[in-house]
Structure 1
Amino acid sequence: MANSCADLKVSSLKGKVTLITGASSGIGAGAAVLFAKLGALLVLNGRNVENLKKVAEECAECGGGTEPLLVPGDLTDEDTVKKMVEDVIVRFGQLDVLVNNAGILAFGGIQTSDLATYDRIMNVNVRSVYHLTQLCVPQLIKTKGCIVNVSSVAGQRSSAIALAYCMSKSAINHFTCCLAVELAPKQVRVNSVCPGVIVTEVFKSAGLDDEETVKFFEMCKHSHALGRVGEVDEVAQCIAFLASDAASFITGVNLSVDGGYHVQSPGKTEME
């Protein structure tokens, strides 16, 4: 029985057409490589075309030579999103899994950030997710597919250092739950993963230099009950699980992948 269950987890994603956004780095790239190993047919989106091509090459190597379809572009551009979904259907004729991973981070509170930052965060992290999902849902209904959103522990725990980001991820958590209820009668499952602090380049993209990033990771060890920050593959494995048949009776879940951050007693989490 154990072996048959293990086989199910691996084989159930084989041949599934999977669209992963933000796949040019970090969690998205890690998920893409893992899904390739599990035999999925990949559609990869990202803004950094050079990095996206490198990820695609790694996916092709892991996936037995099957080349992912690359659909680079900015998800805040509505025409780009529409063309992306059209390209998926033209190439594969269907869509089985949508992984809404693309997102950005910006530091700042109500007194230290501006409306432009708020708009940028909400447009990328929430509005573009809403729009892409809206266009993909008709296809997912046909295949009785699933959606996995990449949220954050920041959507569950308060923070004084990234207000707009926390608000955006809280929105994604509720979006996940509401959409799960709406699509359940159509047998489309909707879940999210809520990572803690994961070792990626997102913190440098948000403005931290190398020294500040190292300091941030070291500080965050104390806010995670397991005493360390997480790795990309640890999140990717959970995304794959939620997308697989092993999670066939799971929907509307915001799965914490945070080393116990969400249950840890509040401590010091701000940069000194």
Structure 2
Amino acid sequence: MATSDAFQVSSLKGKVALITGASSGIGAGTSVLFAQLGAQLALNGRDVENLKKVAQKCAQCGGAEPFLVPGDLTDEETVRKTVEQTLAHFGRLDVLVNSAGILAMGSIETTDLAQYDKVMDVNVRSVYHLTQLCVPHLIKTRGSIVNVSSVNGQRSFPGVLAYCMSKSAIDQFTRCVALELAPKQVRVNSVCPGVIVTEVHKRAGLDDEQYAKFLARCKETHALGRPGEVEEVAQSIAFLASDAASFITGVNLPIDGGRHAMCPR
């Protein structure tokens, strides 16, 4: 239940949060914000050096030093160790943020099975497995889960077929698990960003010129006329993870500057 604390909307004090994809982009920004809001953090990412830099930023916010659980979550043993080590270190888990994910370009004509499998393994299978292992511990704390999806899960876009499919799966996963865990008072929601300024598009193959043109198109494709910033998504994740959202579950929340409401372009 919500409390009378007027600051609950901006407080995660005392909550233990496991954040994946924390070495870059939305996961990194969410980690720093959670630290500022008083959360105790277990951070997962594949880039160990970047993960250490994010941990330093979190510590500079005045919070506790984050506990690092690096590794590739497509490896089942890594997933098990991530959960076990987090619980051994903190003794509890209140929040799971599934932010790890990849973007891949390709159509039905160009996306081979190897690329399809990689996208689905990272964006869906690893999320399913990690969530499954965390659920018993979240039930104990009546905790919450926030999945990072995409407007691509709600709208159809050409040229990113496997990615769109993976994010649509995450939205359905969110809704189904929310219904399953609601009787146990565990809330499950997702955020669905539009174009956010991160490195994900360049990692998918866009060069600097292509990326600049891609961002410029946001004037036409996003109702607010611009791409979003990592911090804008992180704020929404923090809200959904906080006690201020105690009566919200099963929601796929667009954080997309109105992209989902626009005509296809």
What TM-score results when the alignment is normalised by the length of structure 2?
0.97
Code of the aligned partner of 2:19: I
Match of 2:113 among 107, 115, 124: 115
- Partner-residue secondary structure (3-state), 1:266: coil
Code of the aligned partner of 1:201: E
**Aligned twin of 2:230:** 232
**Aligned twin of 1:128:** 126
Q: Give the number of equivalent residue pairs.
A: 262
For residues 225 and 59 of structure 1, the distance between their equivalents in structure 2, rounded to whole angstroms, comes to 33
For residues 266 and 202 of structure 1, the distance between their equivalents in structure 2, rounded to whole angstroms, comes to 22
- Partner-residue secondary structure (3-state), 1:75: coil
Code of the aligned partner of 2:226: R
Cα contact 2:19–2:42 (8 A) shared by 1: yes
Question: Deviation at 1:174?
Answer: 0.3
**Aligned twin of 2:198:** 200
For residues 219 and 74 of structure 2, the distance between their equivalents in structure 1, rounded to whole angstroms, comes to 34
Change (3 A) 1:6 1:215: farther
Code of the aligned partner of 2:185: Q
Question: Is the aligned partner of 1:80 residue 2:78?
Answer: yes
Stretch of structure 1 that moved more, 90-99 or 215-224: 215-224
For residues 70 and 236 of structure 1, the distance between their equivalents in structure 2, rounded to whole angstroms, comes to 19
Question: Deviation at 1:61?
Answer: 0.7
State the Cα RMSD in Å. 0.9
**Aligned twin of 1:140:** 138
Question: Is the aligned partner of 1:56 residue 2:55?
Answer: yes
How high is the sequence identity, in percent, across the aligned residues? 74
**Which runs of at least 4 in structure 1 moved beyond 6 Å after TM superposition?**
none
For residues 265 and 65 of structure 1, the distance between their equivalents in structure 2, rounded to whole angstroms, comes to 44
For residues 151 and 5 of structure 2, the distance between their equivalents in structure 1, rounded to whole angstroms, comes to 30
Cα contact 2:36–2:63 (8 A) shared by 1: no
Code of the aligned partner of 2:183: P
The gaps in structure 2 that reach 5 residues or longer are none
Question: Deviation at 1:221?
Answer: 2.8
Question: Deviation at 1:65?
Answer: 4.7
Cα contact 2:32–2:54 (8 A) shared by 1: yes
Cα contact 2:93–2:137 (8 A) shared by 1: yes
Question: Deviation at 1:158?
Answer: 0.3
What TM-score results when the alignment is normalised by the length of structure 1?
0.95
